[in-house]
Amino acid sequence: MPQIDDLDPRTPIVVGVGQASELLDSPDYRRRSPVDLAADAARDALADTGADPETVAAAIDTVAGTRQFENSFPGARAPLGRSDNFPRSVAGRIGADPRRAVLEVAGGQSPQHLVNEFAATIAAGEAEVVLLAGSEAISTIEKYAKDDDRPDFSEHVDGTLEDRGLGLRGLMSRHHAAHGLTDAPSQYALFDNARRARLKLSRDEYATAIGELFAPFTRVAAANPHAAAPTERTAAELVTPTAVNRPIADPYTRYVVARDKVNQGAAVLIMSVAAARRLGVPTDRWVFLPGHADLRERDLMERADLSASPASVLATRHALEVAGIGFDELAHLDLYSCFPAPVFNIADAFGLSPDDPRGLTVTGGLPFFGGAGNNYSMHAIASMVERVRRAPGSYGFVGANGGMMSKYSVGIYTTTPSPWTAGNSAALQAEVDAWPAPEEARHADGWATIETYTVKHSRDGRRTGIVVGRLEADNRRFLALTDDLSLLDTAEPIGQRVYVQSSGKGNRVAASEAAFPPPGPAVLKDRYEHILVRRDGHLLEVTINRPEARNSLHPMANDELDHAFSAFFADDDLWVAILTGAGDKAFSAGNDLIYSASGKPMWVPKNGFAGLTSRRSMPKPVIAAVNGFAMGGGFEIALACHLVVADATAKFALSEVKVGLIAGAGGVVRLPRTVPPKLANEMILTGRRLTADEALAHGLVNRVTEAGAALDGARALAADILDSSPTSVRISLQVMEETRGIPDVVDAVTHHSSAFDDLMVSEDAIEGLTAFAQKRRPRWRNR
């Protein structure tokens, strides 16, 4: 290792750390805001440098902050208000005026990732003095959210902000939400249960192992003045369910999951060696980062093994390799401990036991020190810097985990003079991304086996079973819910044979196929709640009957339309269908956004919006009679129909971009295949509206009628179709569908279809030729 005097002046070093905290029941509790807590920690970090705090603060050229929970999820609320520029608010409190301010993506990896990133930025000469800060005041916010005397934490700060967004891509999805994976405990429980089964441990044995893993953490937390829960507990206390230690998600009780009700802040100050010398920072405050790595695991359903996170292990090995040391040379460890799984993951890989004399945490861990949102590892880094300073020449390890054991950032810390060494995380990430992944079945049906599972426990005693399984037919992986909790209450659910069935509400598993009675015959009901149906000979008319909501569709209306159209396609005596909307204002305004924003359960039938947009087989003609607006999903319904009749008042638009959505029910696919590409692009990207006449000119509409006459026009078009052979109509649609994907015209023309053979032996074909020869109207029988 080089001597300090031999270091490159741009070598990055940590020179100051600080932590701040307050408990609700403390005599010095002051209702500090997240900005205040971070600023308190930043002041301590400035003082920790051993140099003049004001001089160091004036030299800060970059400030980067971690996100609070209230700014980490779509739709998250800040009940007491928040700063619109958190990093600059913190900087302003300490007298700094940085040229650059950054708000990092969400995730527990973010503090260590920021250290790694800005150490590299300093080494590249693109910054000299960087302040990293973060905080949470969740205890205060929850206590005063509904109080008349609540504080106001709102702040407006001028200046630029590099807001990197939430960074949740691949971590949250509608499919996960539909199957109960909306909370961290249920997600991580899948990993721990998979690990338990891999190790062939019983439920009780694994609970004991969790307790033994975390009991030493409580001792560290009990001695930490910043801990949110400074209480030493035995292994048995941690995992024994009680009124205050209720089950959260099997195998977790409340004591062994991250504690988010905290008021904590932490800050880390990094600068170049040249800046440290110029600002008068004593060398005994200098801490180096000889090893570092940042990797992202495959998304949940793409992981070959749900019992481990090999990317986290790879990141750890790489950071050690960059530092030029082995794991045994580490004197201090902090393994991210939001749940047992991330700790076990590293411990398994490197042969660590819960009673390792080094300890597995320097703070007390997230369940006991506190899971300060995305900022926990800033506290771990601060504590680690203090540890290695007290033991000069020793090495400390901080592993920071984010997402669903998804993102892992590693830092190695030491006072030993160490040059900055660029890592190779990018190449390793390419390797991770190339790992083979199981194929997923979004709609799963058939016999399967349970791969892992959990049971979520609500405060009111309700339980929800969540299963990850593999289909026996093709080994595809799927997510599912189950109402049969006896499946998951057995000694070992994993490996158990189950039956899975899909629906618009998602996948469900049960002990046998008999648990899913076959659906009744697809027969039209006499009455529906949200639609009207009318039979007129071989014609079916379906009316969306929600005029008060501009005929927008919520899940229940979608289900009724799906049922009606399934009955239509199954009924041999119905040959043509017309879909229209009640009233004269709108055919359909699309998705019912008011219902969607209500927080009530959302689903769409497997056959798609209105039971049409994802329906694979539409063997009989469906005509849209568009009266008024066909907006967003309403236009997508019309695009899915074979024919469209519009009245003169009709307007067509894919308006989803205007409300932050996309035309995901087929609009972005069907429209570019229907109209000229440039027009499709404009409509999709701007929400441009087309009049009925414009839609007719561009081939979106077959006929335009006078105002209020769309249904009559559709009936006239239906009569023209009904005058033809229903067998010929059906087979024409079939052949068009079969040849749609054949690009060569001659190949498409010569494509052999059994439909032609069916046509030639049909009674309708014989009747048509006979009636022509006899100069009479044919009597079609649809066979």
pLDDT digits (tens, 9 = 90+) for 726-747: 878 888 888 888 888 888 888 7
> At residue 446, what are phi and psi to the nearest 5 degrees?
125, -175
Residue 390 confidence (pLDDT) above 80: yes
650: left (phi over 0), alpha (psi -120 to 50) or beta: beta
% of the chain at pLDDT higher than 90:
82
User: Are 607 and 576 in the same domain?
Assistant: yes
Beginning with the edge strand found earlier in the chain, give each strand of the sheet holding 162-163 in spatial order.
12-21, 263-272, 129-137, 62-65, 100-103, 162-163
pLDDT band of 597, cuts 50, 70, 90: confident
Domain boundary pick from 402, 433, 464: 433
- Residues 480-489 have pLDDT tens digits of 999 999 999 9
Max alpha carbon distance in the chain (Å)? 110
Rounded average pLDDT over 687-712: 95
- Residues 344-367 have pLDDT tens digits of 999 999 999 999 999 999 999 999
- Active site members: 636, 656
Give the C-alpha separation, 281 to 278, whole Å: 8
DSSP state of 611: G
pLDDT band of 761, cuts 50, 70, 90: low
**Nearest alpha-carbon partner for 8 in 421, 423, 424:** 421
User: Are 132 and 267 in the same domain?
Assistant: yes
Q: Are 438 and 475 in contact (CB under 8 A)?
A: yes
Give the C-alpha separation, 643 to 314, whole Å: 56
Rounded average pLDDT over 137-150: 93
Number of structural domains (the chain) is 4
The vertex-442 CA angle with 440 and 443, nearest 5°, equals 125
- Concatenate the DSSP letters of all residues of 111-151 into one string: HHHHHHHHHHHHHTTS-SEEEEEEEEEHHHHHHHTT-TT--
In the block, which residue shows the tokens 């739709």?
75
State which residues form the domain around 40: 4-175+255-433
- Residues 69-93 have pLDDT tens digits of 999 888 788 999 999 999 999 999 9
Is 523 inside a domain boundary? no
* Confidence (pLDDT) at 755: 65
Q: pLDDT averaged over the chain?
A: 93
User: Are 271 and 287 in the same domain?
Assistant: yes
H or E element that contains 755:
helix 754-760
Is 64 inside a domain boundary? yes
Residue 230 confidence (pLDDT) above 80: yes
* Confidence (pLDDT) at 750: 78
Q: Could you tell me which residues are beta bridge partners of residue 535?
A: 540
Residue 174 confidence (pLDDT) above 90: no
Domain boundary pick from 722, 741, 758: 722
Q: Write the single-letter amino acid at 460.
A: D
Give the C-alpha separation, 377 to 385, whole Å: 12
Question: Residue 483: which CATH number?
Answer: 2.40.50.840
User: Are 733 and 717 in the same domain?
Assistant: no
Give the tokens for residue 654. Answer: 């894919």
* Confidence (pLDDT) at 4: 84
Is 285 inside a domain boundary? yes
**Nearest alpha-carbon partner for 279 in 39, 14, 58:** 58
- Concatenate the DSSP letters of all residues of 221-267 into one string: HHT-TT-SS-----HHHHHS--SSS-EEETTEEGGGS-----EEEEE
Residue 621 confidence (pLDDT) above 90: yes
Angle between the 184-198 and 340-350 helix axes, to the nearest 10 degrees? 40
Is 438 inside a domain boundary? no
User: Are 378 and 479 in the same domain?
Assistant: no
User: Are 586 and 614 in the same domain?
Assistant: yes
Q: Give the burial class of 386: count Cβ atoms within 10 A of its Cβ; 0-12 exposed, 13-18 middle, 19 or more buried.
A: middle
Lowest mean pLDDT among 343-347, 590-594, 708-712: 590-594
> At residue 463, what are phi and psi to the nearest 5 degrees?
-125, 145
Rounded average pLDDT over 583-599: 88
pLDDT band of 519, cuts 50, 70, 90: confident
Residue 549 confidence (pLDDT) above 90: yes
- Residues 256-306 have pLDDT tens digits of 999 999 999 999 999 999 999 999 999 999 999 999 999 999 999 999 999
User: Are 357 and 315 in the same domain?
Assistant: yes
Q: Could you tell me which residues are beta bridge partners of residue 401?
A: 408
Residue 782 confidence (pLDDT) above 80: no
Q: Are 651 and 689 in contact (CB under 8 A)?
A: yes
Question: Residue 272: which CATH number?
Answer: 3.40.47.10
User: Are 682 and 745 in the same domain?
Assistant: no
- Residues 243-259 have pLDDT tens digits of 999 999 999 999 999 99
* Confidence (pLDDT) at 757: 63
User: Are 576 and 505 in the same domain?
Assistant: no
Q: Are 396 and 413 in contact (CB under 8 A)?
A: yes
CA quadruple 723, 725, 729, 731: dihedral, nearest 10: 180
* Confidence (pLDDT) at 768: 63
Q: Could you tell me which residues are beta bridge partners of residue 591?
A: 553
User: Are 147 and 286 in the same domain?
Assistant: yes
User: Are 611 and 471 in the same domain?
Assistant: no
Q: Give the burial class of 414: count Cβ atoms within 10 A of its Cβ; 0-12 exposed, 13-18 middle, 19 or more buried.
A: buried
pTM here is 0.89
* Confidence (pLDDT) at 673: 92
* Confidence (pLDDT) at 749: 78
Q: Give the burial class of 202: count Cβ atoms within 10 A of its Cβ; 0-12 exposed, 13-18 middle, 19 or more buried.
A: exposed
Give the C-alpha separation, 159 to 611, whole Å: 50
Residue 583 confidence (pLDDT) above 70: yes
Give the C-alpha separation, 202 to 199, whole Å: 9
Is 186 inside a domain boundary? no
User: Are 454 and 565 in the same domain?
Assistant: no
Is 210 inside a domain boundary? no
266: left (phi over 0), alpha (psi -120 to 50) or beta: beta
Residue 461 confidence (pLDDT) above 80: yes
Is 676 inside a domain boundary? yes
Is 341 inside a domain boundary? yes
* Confidence (pLDDT) at 2: 72
Domain boundary pick from 372, 404, 433: 433
Is the torsion defined by CA of 617, 622, 626, 627 positive or negative?
Answer: negative
- Buried b vs exposed e over 75-103: b needs ≥16 C-beta within 10 Å? eeebebebbebbbbbbbbbbebebebbbb
Question: Residue 667: which CATH number?
Answer: 3.90.226.10
- Three-class DSSP category at 685: helix
Give the C-alpha separation, 55 to 275, whole Å: 11
Beginning with the edge strand found earlier in the chain, give each strand of the sheet holding 395-402 in spatial order.
288-296, 407-414, 395-402, 332-335
Residue 758 confidence (pLDDT) above 80: no
Q: Are 510 and 498 in contact (CB under 8 A)?
A: yes
